Amino acid sequence: MLVKLSSGIYIGEAKVTDPISGKIRKLKHAVIHFGGNNSNIKGKTSDAPCRKCFNKHGDPGVTLTCSKCFQKGDMFSTYMYDVSFITFNTTTNGTCTTASCDEPDVVIKRAYGFLHNQNFGDYDLVFNNCEHFATACKTGKARCNQAALGFGVAGAIVYKAARRLRW
C-alpha cells in the first residue's frame, strides 16, 4: 500500500484574512506547509477556496491552512527527530532523522519567516519538497531522507552530490 505523506509545521492558533471582505478569522488548528498537489504549476488551483482558512488548494509556495486542508486525504503522523542510528536505519524513509530539532518558538518563527517572505524557492519533488521545508523549520537545515535514501546508501550519495551541484 502506498501512503502519501505531507510535511508541515503545526502552529496551533493563527489568524487569516478573508481576501474578499478583509475580515480576520482565528483558526484553532493551523499548519504552515510548502507545496503540495499542483504546487509546481503556478497559478493552478484544484478546488474552491476553503471557507475556514481561504486556502486555494494547489497554490504554489509556503501556505498557512487549517489542519483539515493540510490533511486533505493524507494521514497524520509524527516525524521523529533525534532518533538513534539504528532506529533511523530500520524505519520507513521520510519518517525520522538523527538530527535534533530546535525549540518550538524557533521552529514557528522560521515557518512564519518562510511564509511571509515566500523565500523557500520553487517546489521540486526531489530537491525542494515539503519534507525539506519541515526539516528546515525544525533544524535550520533542509533535508529529505525520503528522497535521499529512497534508493539506499548509493542513492543517498548521488542525491547529496546532485543537490550540491543544483545550487
pLDDT at 44: 47
pLDDT grade for 24, boundaries at 50, 70 and 90: very high
Span 1-25, average pLDDT: 81
Enumerate long-range contacts of 65-73, CB under 8 Å, 24 or more apart: 65/30, 65/31, 65/33, 66/27, 66/29, 66/30, 66/31, 67/10, 67/29, 67/30, 67/31, 70/6, 70/8, 70/31, 70/33, 71/6, 72/6, 72/36, 73/4
pLDDT at 42: 43
- What are 100-121's pLDDT values in tens digits? 999 999 999 999 999 999 999 8
Span 136-140, average pLDDT: 94
pLDDT grade for 91, boundaries at 50, 70 and 90: confident
